[in-house]
Every structure is written in C-alpha cells, then in structure tokens.
Structure 1
Amino acid sequence: MIFRQLFDGVSSTYTYLIASRAGGEALIIDPVLEKVERYLQLVRELDLKLVKAVDTHLHADHVTGLGALRDRTHCITVMGEQTHADVVSMRVAEGDQIDIAGLSLDVLYTPGHTDDSYCFLMEGRIFTGDTLLIRGTGRTDFQNGDARAQYKSIFGKLLKLPDETLVYPGHDYKGDTVSTIGEERRYNPRLQVSSPGEYAELMNNLKLANPKMMDVAVPTNMHVGLHQDEIARMGWAVSVAEAIGLMGRPEIALVDLREKSERLRHGGIPGALHAPYTQLQENIGAGGVLHELAAATGKQIVFYCAYGERSAMAVQAAQDAGLTSARHIEGGIDAWKKAGGPVLMG
C-alpha cells in the first residue's frame, strides 16, 4: 500500500494520500488548497490516478483543496450527507464505504466538532479529522458543534475500536504524527471523564479564540461545487422536466454514473444503464460500451449522477471524445426526485 501523511504548516493540517499500489487509483483526505500543486506532483511521481478527494467535515481553519483537485484531475469529491457545502459529487453516510481499486474505507458519522464530522476506518487505522486529536479533541463551540454529541462519537464509536488501531488526526499542533486508540484512551486528558456531562463541562469552558481563517474558510468551503451553468451555456444540459419527457424514447440512453452503493440506497431512474464514473474514459473511448452504443445505434447519451457534478464532467469528456450529442441532467437524481420523477429502488 502507498500511504503518505502530508503537512500544512500554516493551518497545522494533516492530509493523507492513499493507494493500494503504484499505477493505481488513489484518494486524498482533507486536502489544503495551497498545497494542491504539491499533491499533484506527488501523484505524478508515484504514478497514481487521483479518483476521490474527501473532506472529513466543513473546515474552518483552511480552504479545502477539493474543488481545485476536481478541476485539475476530474476526481470525485466526497463529504458526509450532512455537509453544508453546496455541491459535492458524492455524499456518504454511516455504514457506507468509500472505495477505490484495492482499498475501502468504512464511513463513521461522528458529530460533535461540527454537525457534519466523519471519520474513516481502513485496515487498522482510523482517520479522525477533528473529532479525535492526539492527546486532545476537536473544539465544539461553533458550526453546530455539540460536546455531548462528540462524547458519544468518541466513547461510543472510536474508543470501541481495538487498542492497536492507529489514529491519524486532521491536525496536530505539537509535532505528533500518529497515535493509537489505546494510547488516547489512557493518556488523552480530555478523555479522562466519567460522563457526557463532565465532558461537556470541560469542552464548554475552553474559551478558545476563533480560527484565524474562519471568516474566509467557512463561506468559501460552502461553495466548492462545479459550476454547471457553463455546461448549460454550451447546450449540453437538459433540465429535469426535459429529462422526464425523454424517458422511454428509443433514441435516448439514460446513463447512471453513480456507484452501486449509491444506487442501492437512493434508487435510480427506471430503464437507465449503469456505467460508473470511474470507468468513464474506457466507456466513451473507441471500442468502449458507451461509444459503441452511440455509434452503432445512434442513441443520444444522457448522463446523470447524484447532484450533477460527475455528469457535468462526463458530458465534457464525452464531447471531447467525439460524442457530440451527449447531454447531462442538471442537478442529478437529487433534482429529479424533487421534481417528482419516477424512481426505481434496488
């Protein structure tokens, strides 16, 4: 496995780059905007393909690199379903998995630091974001933070993991890089409490100054979505109302770009083909399934995804590959459901 822990000295943020092998798919956790060029250089040097960029929560101390990495690599952006960000490609929930070739991260919802905080568990290590730090815990006094909720997240989920589980936090201010669940249970001063009330009293009396970047980072990080209006101006988009009218027409092929887990949880448009976004390039290239479908039958490809971000990138790639009739559904299945479009579950 390829594993790199990267550090931003300005915000004391740890970013993690992970892949199962050289030449394979990679994901990155909690990227910082100012470090994007460094991440991309490392991806090239390690011969990796960045396919997913993940944030543990909406950050207040730095501007996320999610949008920039998406724009540079066409990767899938991922956050928890409670996120206040305008658009991310994929929203995950407790019990989901974030998959890349050869690796899988289990998704744990761990509110408390913020109401959209998540941790990710993988092969004996847990990426804790700002929920659990080394000899500390994330503050709970803004962004709908809740000390009692954080107590439940830490004591009810994280501390139930095996003692030897490696803890990789989202920040460290003392130079520590890794800990274990057992160490934190024994030596973390904020965890030496006997009740949620005692923990809440401790956290509610920290009297910390706001993060220096908070007024800039929070509003910026809430607007990281791909601007789908540019795709619409090119004439490559259809509204939900138009898309509902296309259902069942023989010259139309609706293509669902989401992953299997998303389809199972949220349902799909009846009659749509499934061609995951991660396989897009091979599917639209010469000899690919979608390329041949369009060439052999003359069908118009109409992509959709969860919120329109993946499908907007897909229609641009399809146009570049010569599928000039390709379109996408603005707003994805989220907009489709809101408009009352039919959905097939399972």
Structure 2
Amino acid sequence: MIFRQLFDSVSGTYSYLLASRIGGEALILDPVLEKVDRYCQLLRELDLKLVKAVDTHLHADHVTGLAELRDRTHCVTIMGDQSKADVVAMRVSDGDKVTIEGVELDVMYTPGHTDDSYSYLMGDRVFTGDTLLIRGTGRTDFQNGSARAQYDSLFNRLLKLPDETMVFPAHDYKGDTVSTIGEEKRYNPRLQVKSVEDYIELMGKLNLPNPKLMDVVIPANMKVGLKPDALKKQGLALSPREAIAHLGDPAILLVDLRESGERAKHGVLAGALHAPYPSISDSLKPGGMLREVANATKRRIVFFCAFGERSAMAVTAAKDAGIGNAAHLDGGIDAWKKAGGPVLAA
C-alpha cells in the first residue's frame, strides 16, 4: 500500500495519493492546481498510473487540479452528485464506493461546510475534507453551508466511526497532519457542545473573513469539465437525438465506458458492449477487444459514459490507436435520458 500526504502551504491544503502496488493504479484526493507538476513527478518516481482524481467538495481557497490531471493523465475525475461543477466524469452518492485496484473508498455524504461536502472512508482512516478538521470544523457560512447539517454529519456520521479511525482532513493551518476520531471527540473544542442549537450558535459567532481568492476560485472550480467542441466540429460527436435514432443500427457499436456500479445504478443501453474506461488503452491495442471488434465487424464505435467526459477522451485514444471513425455520445447517458432515450435495468 502506498500512501502519501502532500501539502500546499499557500492554501493549507492536504492532498492524498493512494495506490496499490500490484498494477500501479493510483488515486488522488483534493489535488491543487499549482502542485500538479509535483504530483506527476511523484507518479513517475513511484511508477504509478493515476486513474482517478477526487475532490471532496467545491473548494473556495484554491483552484482544483482535477482538470489539469485529467488532461495530463486521462484519469477519471470524481465529485459528489450534489456538486455544482459543470462536468466531472463520475458523480458519486452516499453509500457508493470509489475503487481502484486494491483500494476501496466508501462514500459518505457529510454536508454542512458546503452543500456538496463528502467524506471518504478507507478501512482504518477517513478523509474528511473540510467537514471535520483537526481540533476544528469547517466554516458553514457560504456555499449553502449549514451548521445544522454539519452537526448531523459530525455527530451522527463521522463521530460514530470507531475511535481509532484516523482522520485526514483537506486542510490544516497549524502543522497537524493526522488525528483520530477518539481524539477529536475528546479535544476538539467545537465538538464539546451539548446540542445542535449550541453548535449553531457557536458557528454563527465565528465571523470569519472570506477566503482571499473566493470570488475567483469558486467560478474556476465550477468549470472543470472537458469541452469536446473539437469533436463536434470533426463529426465525432453524436447528439442524444442522433444516437437515439441510431439505436439498433447494425453499423453502430455502442460501447459503455462506465463502471459496473454506475450501470447498476443508472441503467444500460440495449446492445451496448461494456468496456470500462480504465482499461481503454489495453482494449485499443493490437489484440485488444475493441480493436479486434472494430477490425472484424467494420462497425463504427460510439463511446458513451455518464456525462461525456470519459467518452471524449476515449475518442482521442481511439484516434491515437489508428481507429479514426470512433465517435462519442455528447453529454453521456445523462443527456440520453433527458432526451427520452430508452434505458434498461442492468
């Protein structure tokens, strides 16, 4: 198991790199844009392949590294389904799991600091974003924050975890790197309240200044989506209505890039081949499943995913592999459903 806690001193942000050693798949939590060069250097040094990048919430004090990491590594970007970011490749809900080879994170919806705050539990440790800090809690006075919701997230979710669970927050300004649930129960001054009303009163009296760059950072972080306009201009993107019209067309092969959990949750398209995005490079290599199918059947491959981000990257990967007529479903299955396209249970 590889675990690295990385720090951005300007914003006081902790990012976390997680990996299993067997195949070298890696995941990063809360990356900072200015540190992307360092992340990529570390990935090279450790011989790792970044496959997923996760933000615990829409940050207000730094620009996220999600988009830059996606562009450099073709990783899957992930946020919670309450996020207002324009497009990420995958959105997760409370109770879902985020997985890479040898690593599994349980998704916990823990609003309060913002209305899109999520924590991620991995065995003996929990990544709490800005919900639970070391000897503190995240402010609740902007981005639809709520002290009442945060109290519930803290006392009825996070503090119910075993006392020995290690706490790794997204921020610290005092130099602390890790705590435990038990420590925070005993020594965190904001957790010594007797009721939710006491907590609301305490948080209401903080009167903190806004983060210095909030007016710039929040709009930037809401616009992290991949813009596949170039694919449209090249005729390599199908609108939902065009794709619906081609459903059942023997000249078209629909390829579903989503993970099994997404398919079970949101349904599948009739006749689509399942080829999860993390294995797309292998599938397109000589001898790979998609390459062999494309060569043998001469069918046009049309990739689709949840929102169109992974499928746009897959079209580029297919072109690089010599498959020039691949296309993708613009907007993914989300747009397909909104256009009235039929969906089957997985």
Q: Does the 8 Å CA contact 1:238/1:329 hold for their aligned counterparts?
A: yes
Write out aligned runs for 1:1-346 (5 A).
1-21=1-21, 23-346=23-346
Secondary structure of residue in 2 paired with 1:86: coil
Aligned AA (1:137): T
Deviations 1:175-207 (A, max 9, x none): 000000000000000000111111011001100
CA distance in 2, matches of 1:134, 1:155: 15
CA distance in 1, matches of 2:214, 2:230: 30
Secondary structure of residue in 1 paired with 2:27: strand
Aligned AA (1:223): K
Q: Does the 8 Å CA contact 1:2/1:22 hold for their aligned counterparts?
A: no
Deviations 1:100-152 (A, max 9, x none): 01110000000000000000000200000000000000000000000000000
Aligned residue pairs, count: 346
How far apart are 1:23 and its partner, in Å? 4.9
How far apart are 1:10 and its partner, in Å? 0.3
How far apart are 1:217 and its partner, in Å? 0.6
CA distance in 1, matches of 2:23, 2:11: 31
Deviations 1:320-341 (A, max 9, x none): 1111111000000000000000
TM-score by length of 1: 0.99
Q: Does the 8 Å CA contact 1:117/1:129 hold for their aligned counterparts?
A: yes
Secondary structure of residue in 1 paired with 2:229: helix
Q: Does the 8 Å CA contact 2:112/2:146 hold for their aligned counterparts?
A: yes
Aligned AA (1:6): L
CA distance in 2, matches of 1:241, 1:81: 25
CA distance in 2, matches of 1:329, 1:196: 47
CA distance in 1, matches of 2:200, 2:114: 14
Secondary structure of residue in 1 paired with 2:119: strand
How far apart are 1:22 and its partner, in Å? 6.3
How far apart are 1:285 and its partner, in Å? 1.0
Q: Does the 8 Å CA contact 2:253/2:272 hold for their aligned counterparts?
A: yes
Q: Does the 8 Å CA contact 2:128/2:168 hold for their aligned counterparts?
A: yes
CA distance in 2, matches of 1:202, 1:104: 35
Q: Does the 8 Å CA contact 2:23/2:101 hold for their aligned counterparts?
A: no
How far apart are 1:75 and its partner, in Å? 0.3
CA distance in 1, matches of 2:301, 2:248: 13
Secondary structure of residue in 1 paired with 2:280: helix
CA distance in 1, matches of 2:227, 2:313: 10
Aligned AA (2:234): M
Q: Does the 8 Å CA contact 1:57/1:79 hold for their aligned counterparts?
A: yes
In the alignment, structure 2 segments of 5+ residues that lack a partner are none
Deviations 1:236-279 (A, max 9, x none): 11111110111111111100000000000011211111100001
Deviations 1:164-185 (A, max 9, x none): 0000000000000000000000
Q: Does the 8 Å CA contact 1:23/1:47 hold for their aligned counterparts?
A: no
Q: Does the 8 Å CA contact 1:108/1:120 hold for their aligned counterparts?
A: yes
CA distance in 2, matches of 1:86, 1:146: 23
How far apart are 1:234 and its partner, in Å? 2.1
In the alignment, structure 1 segments of 5+ residues that lack a partner are none
TM-score by length of 2: 0.99
Secondary structure of residue in 1 paired with 2:86: coil
CA distance in 1, matches of 2:282, 2:246: 26
Q: Does the 8 Å CA contact 1:12/1:173 hold for their aligned counterparts?
A: yes
How far apart are 1:235 and its partner, in Å? 1.8
CA distance in 2, matches of 1:270, 1:206: 54
Q: Does the 8 Å CA contact 1:50/1:73 hold for their aligned counterparts?
A: yes
CA distance in 2, matches of 1:272, 1:108: 31
Q: Does the 8 Å CA contact 1:62/1:217 hold for their aligned counterparts?
A: yes
CA distance in 2, matches of 1:155, 1:236: 50
How far apart are 1:230 and its partner, in Å? 1.7
Secondary structure of residue in 2 paired with 1:184: helix
Aligned AA (2:92): V
Secondary structure of residue in 2 paired with 1:99: strand
Two-structure CA RMSD over aligned residues (Å): 0.7
Deviations 1:71-98 (A, max 9, x none): 0000000000000000000000000000
CA distance in 2, matches of 1:64, 1:28: 12
How far apart are 1:154 and its partner, in Å? 0.5
Aligned AA (1:261): G
CA distance in 2, matches of 1:82, 1:190: 26
